[in-house]
Chains A and B, each alone.
Chain A
Amino acid sequence: MELQLTEDQEAFVSTTRRFLAAECPTTAVRALELDPAGFDPEVWARGAALGWTSLLVPEARGGGSLSEHGLSDLVLVAEEMGRLVAPGPLVPVNVVAETVGRHGSPTQCDEVLPSLLDGSAVAAWCGERPVPGRRDGDRIVLDGTSTPIEAGAQAAHLLVTVDLAEGPTQVLVPAGTEGVAVTPLAGLDLVRRFATVHFEGAAVDAAAVVGRVGDAAAAVDRQRQVACVLQCAETVGAMDQVFDMTLEYLGDRYSFGRPLSSYQALKHRLADDKTWLEASHAIASAAARAVAEERADADEMVSAAKVWIGPHATELVQDCIQLHGGIGVTWEHDLHLYLRRVTVNRAAHGTPEDHADRIATLLMGVPA
Chain B
Amino acid sequence: MTVNGNGNDTGAATTEDLEPVEDFRARARTWLAGNMPPLGDGWNDRSDERRERERELQGRLWAGGFAGICFPKEYGGLGLTTDHQRAFTAESAPYDMPFSLNVPTLGILAATLVEFGTHEQKLRHLPPILRGEELWVQFLSEPSGGSDLAGCLTRADRDGDVFILNGSKIWSSAAYASDWAMCLARTNWDVPKHRGLTMFIMKIHQPGVTVEQIRQVDGTLEFCQEFFDDVPIPASDVVGEVDDGWTVASRLLVHERLAVGGGSPYTSGASASHDSGGADSTMVDAAREAGREADPHVRRLVAEAHVRQLVAGQLVRRITGGMATGAMPPPAGSIIKLFGATNVMRRTEIGLEIAGGSVVAWPEGDPGVGAQLGANSLSRQGVSLGGGSNEIQRNIISERVLGMPREAAADREIPYREVRRGGSGR
Contact = CB atoms under 8 A, between A and B. Distances in A.
A46 B288 CA distance: 55
Q: Which 9 interchain pairs have the tightest Cβ spacing?
A: A367-B294, A267-B398, A360-B299, A359-B303, A356-B303, A271-B394, A271-B397, A282-B314, A282-B318
B311 A261 contact: no
Contacts of B394: 267-268, 271-272
B303 A274 contact: no
Given A261-B404, A304-B311, 4 more contacts: A279-B339, A307-B304, A359-B302, A363-B306
Interface string B387-419: 000010111011101101101000000000000
B262 to A, nearest CB: 13
A95 B307 CA distance: 26
A176 interface: no
Contacts of B395: 264, 267-268, 271
B284 interface: yes
A274 B404 contact: no
A270 B404 contact: yes
B9 to A, nearest CB: 20
Contacts of B304: 307, 356
A145 B280 CA distance: 39
A286 B287 contact: no
Among A262, A264, A282: residue with most chain B CB under 10 A: A282
B331 to A, nearest CB: 11
A283 B314 contact: yes
Nearest to B338: A275
Contacts of A285: 314, 318
Contacts of A360: 299-300, 302-303
A353 B300 contact: yes
19 contacts: A247-B404, A262-B405, A270-B398, A270-B404, A271-B394, A271-B395, A271-B397, A271-B398, A272-B394, A275-B397, A279-B339, A286-B317, A300-B310, A304-B306, A304-B311, A307-B304, A307-B307, A360-B300, A364-B299
A302 to B, nearest CB: 11
Interface in B284-298: 284, 287-288, 293-294, 296
Among A251, A279, A308: residue with most chain B CB under 10 A: A279
B398 A359 contact: no
A363 B303 contact: yes
Contact of B325 (A4, A304, A353, A368): A4
A46 B318 CA distance: 33
Interface residues of A, number: 41
Among B303, B315, B325, B397: residue with most chain A CB under 10 A: B303
Contacts of B404: 247, 250-251, 261-262, 267, 270
A300 B280 CA distance: 14
B398 A367 contact: no
Interface string A280-300: 011101100000000000001
Main secondary structure of the interface of B (DSSP, over half): helix
Contacts of B335: 274-275, 278
Interface string A343-368: 00000000001011111100111011
Nearest to A356: B303
B360 interface: no
A126 to B, nearest CB: 28
Contact of A364 (B287, B296, B401, B402): B287
Interface residues of B, number: 44
A304 B310 contact: yes
A272 B402 CA distance: 12
B311 A308 contact: yes
Nearest to A300: B310
Contacts of A304: 306-307, 310-311
Among A262, A278, A307: residue with most chain B CB under 10 A: A278
A270 B393 CA distance: 12
Nearest to B308: A308
A286 B307 CA distance: 12
B322 interface: yes
B12 interface: no
Contacts of A359: 302-303, 306-307
Contacts of B318: 3, 278, 281-282, 285
A140 interface: no
A271 B325 CA distance: 22
Interface string B167-196: 000000000000000000000000000000
B375 interface: no
Contacts of A250: 404
B300 A279 contact: no
Contact of A356 (B280, B300, B322, B397): B300
A268 B308 CA distance: 21
A360 B287 CA distance: 11
A36 interface: no
Contacts of A282: 311, 314-315, 317-319
A363 B339 contact: no
B293 A268 contact: no
A246 B49 CA distance: 53
A78 B302 CA distance: 30
Contacts of B293: 364-365, 367-368
A353 B301 CA distance: 10
B302 A268 contact: no
Contacts of A270: 397-398, 402, 404
Interface string A256-278: 00010110100110111011001
A247 B342 CA distance: 22
B321 interface: yes
A4 B328 CA distance: 11
A307 B303 contact: yes
B302 A308 contact: no
Nearest to B300: A356
B311 A278 contact: no
Contacts of B325: 3-4
Given A275-B339, A275-B397, A282-B314, A247 B307 contact: no
Nearest to B321: A3
Contact of B399 (A267, A283, A367): A267
A364 B338 contact: no
